[in-house]
Amino acid sequence: MGNDLAGKKVAFLGTGKMGGIILQALLKSGLLSPASTCATVAHEERANTLATKLGVKAGTSNVEAVKGADIIVIGVKPQVVEEVIEEISSHVTPQQLIVSVAASVPTSMIEKGLAPNVPVVRAMPNTPCLLGVGMTAICKGAHASAEQVAMTCRMFDVVGRTVVVDEKHMDAVTGLSASGPAYIYIILESLAEAGVKVGLPRDIATLLAAQTTLGAAKVVLETGDHPALLKDAVTTPAGCTIDAIMELEEGKLRVTLIKAVVKATQRAKELAYG
């Protein structure tokens, strides 16, 4: 992988959970160096903690941070994006690239607040980026080039897999893979609880549930087989699994998960607007 981020100065505006995960991963991978990176947060004491922990320049001034930056990563909450864009707008030029990880906020909304032709790319990561097993969907705004999209992909490849989508799909991505870890944690917690119910020690039940989830996901990703086919391979005629599947169908697991993703997608459509 060519390091076209080498020598680039990157400013992270809003370095909380998600911004912090991406920043840490990029520093750890060597794709960015502390000297070429700066980060902002809302509270001075959080800035001091970040500076000590990561060795980057950290502060509360977004305007200071964007000066001289090649790439500006927007990691504030969706409701704060407009305010931050307004704050930095007169300091941002079309030679810089804005990468926003904010859910719900369209590239057009960001572009509207900036000087003409400033390139904007949107990325929607998830929290497993922390361990390099994240999923990030990326889409381009009106003025971003294919090369800028490719560079953003390379940035997020460091923390997991990336996929480029049309912007119209970004809310669906938010409802599926960005919120998705929460759904899986609930499923894992429930499976572990089930293990306890049938007599397993909690730590063993949690291990069995987590490794089984990891294994099943890996098989889907690596074989490319349809999940229904893989499920059939586990389901012996008149065996145990089919009895469990009947319970899942009666409990409406499928439709519940579908409705959960639909709800989160709908919410993602309105988040930026308060």
Ligand X SMILES: NC(=O)c1ccc[n+]([C@@H]2O[C@H](COP(=O)([O-])OP(=O)(O)OC[C@H]3O[C@@H](n4cnc5c(N)ncnc54)[C@H](OP(=O)(O)O)[C@@H]3O)[C@@H](O)[C@H]2O)c1
Q: Which residues bind ligand X (CB under 6 A)?
A: 13-19, 40-43, 46, 62, 75-78, 80, 84, 101-103, 124-127, 178
Distance CA 54, CA 193 (A): 37
Instruction: Calculate the alpha carbon distances from 263 to 19, 255, 259 in Å.
Output: 25, 12, 6
Rounded-to-10 torsion of CA 157, 162, 168, 174 = -90
Q: Is 140 helix (H, G, I), strand (E, B) or coil?
A: strand
Nearer Cβ to ligand X (71/205): 71
Beta bridge partners of 137: 124, 163
* Residue showing the smallest CB distance to ligand X in the complex: 16
Residue whose CB is less far from ligand X, 99 or 205: 99
The H-or-E segment that residue 3 falls in is: none
Q: Considering beta carbons, is residue 151 or 176 the nearer one to ligand X?
A: 176
Provide the terminal-to-terminal Cα distance of the chain, rounded to the nearest Å.
40
CB nearer ligand X, residue 128 or residue 208: 128
> Minimum Å distance from CB 159 to ligand X?
12
Query: Minimal distance in Å, beta carbon 266 to ligand X?
Result: 15
Nearer to ligand X (CB atom), residue 82 or residue 111: 82
Min. distance of Cβ 212 from ligand X in angstroms? Answer: 23
Instruction: Pick the closer one to ligand X by CB: 153 or 208.
Output: 153
Residue 45 beta carbon to ligand X: minimum distance, rounded to whole angstroms = 8
For ligand X, give the closer residue by CB, 114 or 205: 114
Q: How far is CA 5 from CA 13, 35, 117, 153, 163, in A?
A: 18, 13, 21, 11, 19
CB of 1 to ligand X, least distance (A): 23
Q: Minimal distance in Å, beta carbon 2 to ligand X?
A: 27
Least distance (Å) between residue 18 CB and ligand X: 4
| Burial class of residue 274 (count of CB atoms within 10 Å of its CB; 0-12, 13-18, 19+) | exposed
Q: Where are the beta strands (DSSP E) in 75-222?
A: 97-100, 120-124, 134-140, 160-164
